[in-house]
């Protein structure tokens, strides 16, 4: 109560929410370091809690279990990468813009190789509700690719009959194919293979390459 006998107002909910988010962010940052260093099986909720300066019960107030914590860490990382990728519109022709779109993801994989391999496995095989959340993230990037392809088509840069949605699917095919080779140890760096595959595909959808040559009739063959 104050000097006039009035009750003090409760602490603003906004401040409590901010503190809750700060705690959650700190737990996630420590969890990423532990998952990167120790792997999912080697990391423990108790050690993560100690590193974040909270009780193990506090971690479990924010996340259901260790796997939920892993998915949250990976989802947040993917969300940050997507924001950077979508902000980097790139310049020049469509191929250059698609390379710019993929670049932040490959940079993340290079910086956190162990965690990235876990991210790939979990993002592709996660159960609900994380499966739907990861799928929605992919859909956002696919939507940007479709938009870029439609702009390129309007400029006359690629063939008028190019299917923008299929081009987006091809992008992800090359992207995941390169990443799988990297995860399996066949590639030291997935980005060069992705760029070669993309370049080959873009040759096929370029306006000049889309023109079909007239095949001679049987009667024209000497």
The last residue of one of the domains, among 25, 43, 63, is: 63
Mean pLDDT, the chain cut into blocks of 10 residues (222 residues total): 55 75 94 91 95 95 92 87 83 93 92 84 82 91 97 92 96 96 94 98 74 43 38
> For the CA atoms of 191, 197, 198, 201, what is the dihedral angle to 10 degrees?
180
Distance CA 104, CA 87 (A): 10
Burial of 211 (0-12, 13-18, 19+ CB in 10 A): exposed
**What's the distance, CA 130 to chain centroid?**
14
181 CB contacts (<8 Å, ≥6 apart)?
187, 190, 193
| Pair (51, 116) in one structural domain | no
Q: Find out whether 178 and 187 touch, Cβ atoms under 8 Å.
A: yes
The last residue of one of the domains, among 32, 47, 63, is: 63
Assign residue 36 the CATH number of its domain.
1.10.10.60
């Amino acid at each position: 109560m104050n000097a006039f006998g009035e009750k003090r107002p409760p602490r603003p909910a906004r401040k409590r929410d901010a503190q809750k988010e700060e705690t959650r962010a700190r737990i996630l940052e420590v969890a990423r370091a532990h998952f990167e260093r120790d792997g999912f099986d080697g990391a423990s909720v108790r050690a993560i809690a100690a590193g974040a300066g909270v009780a193990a019960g506090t971690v479990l107030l924010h996340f259901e279990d260790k796997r939920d914590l892993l998915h949250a860490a990976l989802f947040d990382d993917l969300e940050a990468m997507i924001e950077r990728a979508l902000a980097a519109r790139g310049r020049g022709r469509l191929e250059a813009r698609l390379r710019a779109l993929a670049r932040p993801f490959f940079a993340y994989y290079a910086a956190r190789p162990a965690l990235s391999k876990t991210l790939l496995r979990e993002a592709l095989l996660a159960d609900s509700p994380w499966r739907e959340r990861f799928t929605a993230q992919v859909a956002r990037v696919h939507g940007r690719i479709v938009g870029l392809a439609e702009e390129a088509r309007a400029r006359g840069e690629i063939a008028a009959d190019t299917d923008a949605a299929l081009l987006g699917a091809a992008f992800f095919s090359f992207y995941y194919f390169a990443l799988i080779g990297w995860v399996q140890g066949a590639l030291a760096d997935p980005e060069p293979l992705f760029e070669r595959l993309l370049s080959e595909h873009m040759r096929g959808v370029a306006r000049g390459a889309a023109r079909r040559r007239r095949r001679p009739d049987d009667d024209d063959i000497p």
